Amino acid sequence: MTIPEIFETMEYGAAPESAAEALAWLVDQGDRFGHFIDGAFTTPSDGFEAKNPANGNVLASLSQATQNDVDAAVKAARRAQPKWEKLGGPGRARYIYALARLLQKHARLFAVLEVMDNGKPIREARDIDVPLAQRHFYYHAGMAQLMDSELPDAQAIGVCGQIIPWNFPLLMLAWKVAPALAMGNTVVLKPAEYTSLTALLFADICLQAGLPKGVVNIVTGDGAVGEMIVAHDDIDKIAFTGSTDVGRRIRAATAGSGKALTLELGGKSPYIVFDDADLDSAVEGLVDAIWFNQGQVCCAGSRLLVHEPVADLFYAKLRTRMGKLRLGDPLDKSIDVGTLVDPVQLQSVSEMINANPAGERFVADVDVPEAGCFYPPTLITGLHPADTLMQEEIFGPVLVSTTFRTPEEAVQLANNTRYGLAATVWSENVNLALDIAPKLRTGIVWINGTNLMDAAAGFGGVRESGFGREGGWEGLAAYTRPKGTRRPLKEIAAFEGDGAPQDTVDRTAKLYIAGKQARPDGGYSRGVYSKNGALLGHASLANRKDLRNAVEAAHAAKGWSATTGHLRAQILYFIAENLVVRHAEFADRLNNLTGSRSGAKEVDAAVQRLFTYAAWADKYDGQVHGVPIRGVALAMKEPVGVIGAICPDEAPLLGLVSCMAPAIAMGNRVILAASEPFPLAATDFVQVLETSDVPAGVVNILTGAHADLAEPMARHLDVDAVWSFGAAAHSAVIEKAAAGNLKRTWVNHGMARDWMTSDGEGRAFLEAATEVKNIWVPYGE
């Protein structure tokens, strides 16, 4: 098109970005890459090709890491870690800052290389991916600077294995590497096999920044290399972003290994448009929600829910807008939609759409280049909420939709998914939008905006979207652990005896479910004996049916989560007061049960613990993150939901209280498996609960064998998190079973906790008892 013609038609002309510099960099590297290990590139070896998905051209050849390569990378990271940590926050901050500066200096090169490797439009790589990656390094240089003063009790985890996907190759690298380095960890990172080039360019700038060798190591290859990292004995933490299926496999593979784990997985995020929304803005928002990065975004607004009164009008506007989207050469600055990442992804999207003909399809009438992995923007309306395309992640430029009649129905549809990453709400009515936000079961809510991200605001989901947050203060928890070392837990066996009861009254303690004392389903109990063999009573043996009843009761008590912190504090104070009244009786009971003389001290500590969490109930507040857009992100602390806990065997009263109190203070409902050898302190405690106004179902107490309860608790789809402070063996069982619906777990891996001290309470418990939901709201100018 000539310039006069452009003036005549006002059509967009081509505005190609040059590939020359990026190609020259590849040539400079010899077009063949090894891995980046211990501060140097290794000799290239056999592997695979990096291809440009827009035209199929080979960009470079890459090496497939072997077990030896992974071992060498882990070894280098291990060697480098102590020194890197000892450098101190400000020392590390200087390097991280230098990386940020270099990312900025080479921004155009990074953007162009990313586009050639991934197929995303240059506008996005240039204006979103690369600036956000820089921002992440700047932000975390600051976190390193502040670590010593603001997180005095935290230390690095050690060596982190990081596995990232292909949709935001450099940005995901930044999300993983920056916080890890800031907190004093070293890393072994594996980029996705389709998109390794910007990670290798990043290795180059690590050299330019003079980063100490071994702090960042990058190995390339496919899922098999990912598996080697996951399985490696000398890695302390795995951080993964990618598909839910692989996330589930990693959860199962790391079960019981003691490795820390964070998973950022898929989504099917609802995009809710109310009838009072600014419809034109909402249409424009959808361009960013589902056609951004060709829909290959874990938090893409891929499930459109439209208020019935405006549905026809909204769909009409949307179809018109779709017809204006420009597909084409990703390096062209005037295109909106580029190519999918690889022919494999194009095939998977096409197959999924072809295999599911439900609904009415609208394919945008736009020019689609014949060569390259292009897929036309598509809208499918009139779907049923249960249809495959409404439930499964398509990960392509395909929007699916249905309508709703009332706000309640919108919430119900929005939550009708196994995922829980993000949600978008469009309404001009602030009351409505802020009424809906807390009801959405997601880690992120955007109001009148979408796909907003910033280093200051934690990113991450709930349910099968994974666990853990990246970014913000909350993201640092994933890369730190408490200072000090724990000693191994001593396993405690129940006392045996054949002593006769001390009186003739039947003393079989029941279970406590739904606010009532309940006989165990199996009808079995066991004798509980003192150290010298005297029969103290019988404890019921709960089975999986009792557990199911307890979960049902906990669910029915969901009103507890909507109560105020003030009310929950009052009830915790009341429990404490009622325990104080029975101090002597509990002290005696504990002495008899455990054969120690520390009963009175334990009751004192339990009372104090209740007071502590009563104090916290209305003070563990969220934050407001300042983000560099017209808005703020409200980081709200929400209850996790239903928490199952295997309570410690030792400290039978204090351990139970230490699990119960933080959980219910934060609005959760709990199922507590009491100390296995010493269950009768828990069953006595039921009487305290019964006189303390705790609503039925908020606290449920089971006794019996932990081994019978741990697995079904972790497997149960309606339990949102499981904690275990019991015997070591339960940790592995719980982590493995939790892979089913990817619930959060917090287990001891056989390490002891000192329940009598501050080790047994505080922020770690409050963090485990809450989810952070970041709600982005328009604010200011």
| Smallest separation, CB 125 to ligand NAI (Å) | 17
Q: Which residues pair with 251 in a beta bridge?
A: none
Q: Which of 114, 236, 336, 393 binds ligand NAI (CB under 6 A)?
A: 393
Residue 97 or 291 having the CB closest to ligand NAI: 291
| Smallest separation, CB 235 to ligand NAI (Å) | 12
Question: Which residues from 246-265 bind ligand NAI, rule CB under 6 A?
Answer: 246, 249-250, 265
660 touches ligand NAI (CB under 6 A): no
| Smallest separation, CB 264 to ligand NAI (Å) | 6
| Smallest separation, CB 180 to ligand NAI (Å) | 17
DSSP 361-402: EEE------SSSS----EEEES--TTSHHHHS---SSEEEEE
Question: Which residues from 446-475 bind ligand NAI, rule CB under 6 A?
Answer: none
| Smallest separation, CB 298 to ligand NAI (Å) | 3
Distance CA 194, CA 48 (A): 9
x/- track of binding to ligand NAI for residues 285-324 (CB under 6 A): -------------x--------------------------
Distance CA 718, CA 643 (A): 10
395 touches ligand NAI (CB under 6 A): yes
Residue 230 or 541 having the CB closest to ligand NAI: 230
Residue 89 or 301 having the CB closest to ligand NAI: 301
Residue 222 or 759 having the CB closest to ligand NAI: 222
Residue span binding ligand NAI (CB under 6 A) among the ranges 236-244, 370-378, 428-436, 552-560: 236-244
Q: How far is CA 278 from the centre of its chain?
A: 32
Residue 97 or 168 having the CB closest to ligand NAI: 168
Residue span binding ligand NAI (CB under 6 A) among the ranges 36-44, 163-171, 285-293, 731-739: 163-171
**All residues at 6 or more sequence positions from 82 whose CB lies less than 8 Å from its CB, including other chains:** none
Q: Which of 121, 179, 214, 226 binds ligand NAI (CB under 6 A)?
A: 226
Is residue 133 within 8 Å of 170, Cβ to Cβ?
yes
Could you tell me which of 420, 372, 407, 415 has the C-alpha nearest to residue 115? 372
| Smallest separation, CB 393 to ligand NAI (Å) | 4
Q: Which of 21, 71, 204, 227 binds ligand NAI (CB under 6 A)?
A: 227
Helices (H), 557-639: 565-581, 583-594, 599-617
Residue span binding ligand NAI (CB under 6 A) among the ranges 58-66, 160-168, 177-185, 661-669: 160-168
Residue 268 or 609 having the CB closest to ligand NAI: 268
Residues in the chain: 781
Tokens of 508: 């079989």
Residue span binding ligand NAI (CB under 6 A) among the ranges 86-94, 238-246, 368-376, 624-632: 238-246
| Smallest separation, CB 224 to ligand NAI (Å) | 8
Residue 227 or 577 having the CB closest to ligand NAI: 227
165 touches ligand NAI (CB under 6 A): yes
Distance CA 741, CA 745 (A): 11
Residue 242 or 328 having the CB closest to ligand NAI: 242
Q: Which residues pair with 491 in a beta bridge?
A: none
39 touches ligand NAI (CB under 6 A): no
Residue 1 or 344 having the CB closest to ligand NAI: 344
Residue 195 or 745 having the CB closest to ligand NAI: 195
Q: How many helices (H) and strands (E) does the chain have?
A: 27, 33
501 touches ligand NAI (CB under 6 A): no
Residue 395 or 678 having the CB closest to ligand NAI: 395
Is residue 356 within 8 Å of 390, Cβ to Cβ?
no
179 touches ligand NAI (CB under 6 A): no
Residue span binding ligand NAI (CB under 6 A) among the ranges 2-10, 104-112, 159-167, 609-617: 159-167
Residue nearest to ligand NAI (CB): 226
Distance CA 163, CA 218 (A): 10
| Smallest separation, CB 237 to ligand NAI (Å) | 14
Residue carrying the six token digits 């916290």: 616
**All residues at 6 or more sequence positions from 221 whose CB lies less than 8 Å from its CB, including other chains:** 47, 48, 62, 63, 64, 65, 190, 193
| Smallest separation, CB 199 to ligand NAI (Å) | 10
Distance CA 731, CA 466 (A): 19
Residue span binding ligand NAI (CB under 6 A) among the ranges 244-252, 427-435, 441-449, 735-743: 244-252
User: With CB under 6 A, what is the number of residues at the site for ligand NAI?
Assistant: 25
Q: Which of 155, 243, 416, 570 binds ligand NAI (CB under 6 A)?
A: 243
DSSP 427-494: -S-HHHHHHHGGGS-SSEEEES--S---TTS-B--SGGGEE--BSHHHHHGGGEEESS-PPBPPP-PP
Distance CA 190, CA 212 (A): 19
The CB-side HSE value for 64 (13 A sphere, CA atoms) comes to 8
Residue 176 or 730 having the CB closest to ligand NAI: 176
Residue span binding ligand NAI (CB under 6 A) among the ranges 24-32, 158-166, 323-331, 435-443: 158-166
Tokens of 452: 């907003």
Residue span binding ligand NAI (CB under 6 A) among the ranges 76-84, 225-233, 607-615, 769-777: 225-233
644 touches ligand NAI (CB under 6 A): no
Is residue 443 within 8 Å of 773, Cβ to Cβ?
yes
CA dihedral sign, ordered 136, 142, 145, 149: negative
Could you tell me which of 638, 657, 674, 642 has the C-alpha nearest to residue 554? 642
Q: Which residues pair with 648 in a beta bridge?
A: none
| Smallest separation, CB 394 to ligand NAI (Å) | 7
| Smallest separation, CB 120 to ligand NAI (Å) | 13
48 touches ligand NAI (CB under 6 A): no
69 touches ligand NAI (CB under 6 A): no
220 touches ligand NAI (CB under 6 A): no
**All residues at 6 or more sequence positions from 709 whose CB lies less than 8 Å from its CB, including other chains:** 542, 544, 547, 646, 673, 702
What is the distance between the terminal CA atoms of the chain, rounded to a whole angstrom? 40
Question: Which residues from 573-632 bind ligand NAI, rule CB under 6 A?
Answer: none
Tokens of 298: 């874990």
Is residue 273 within 8 Å of 426, Cβ to Cβ?
yes
Q: Which of 93, 128, 163, 665 binds ligand NAI (CB under 6 A)?
A: 163
| Smallest separation, CB 175 to ligand NAI (Å) | 11
Distance CA 5, CA 3 (A): 5
Q: What is the 3-state secondary structure (H, E, C) of 316-328?
A: HHHHHHHCCCCEC
**Burial group, residue 61, by CB count within 10 angstroms (0-12, 13-18, 19+):** middle
Residue span binding ligand NAI (CB under 6 A) among the ranges 185-193, 331-339, 383-391, 583-591: 185-193
Report, as residue numbers or ranges, the catalytic residues: 264
| Smallest separation, CB 726 to ligand NAI (Å) | 29
Residue 340 or 557 having the CB closest to ligand NAI: 340
Tokens of 62: 């890459």
Distance CA 75, CA 214 (A): 8
Quick one: which H or E segment has residue 23?
helix 20-28
Residue carrying the six token digits 């909350």: 474
Question: Which residues from 187-216 bind ligand NAI, rule CB under 6 A?
Answer: 190, 192-193
Residues that bind ligand NAI (CB under 6 A): 163-167, 190, 192-193, 222-223, 226-227, 230, 241-243, 246, 249-250, 265-266, 298, 348, 393, 395
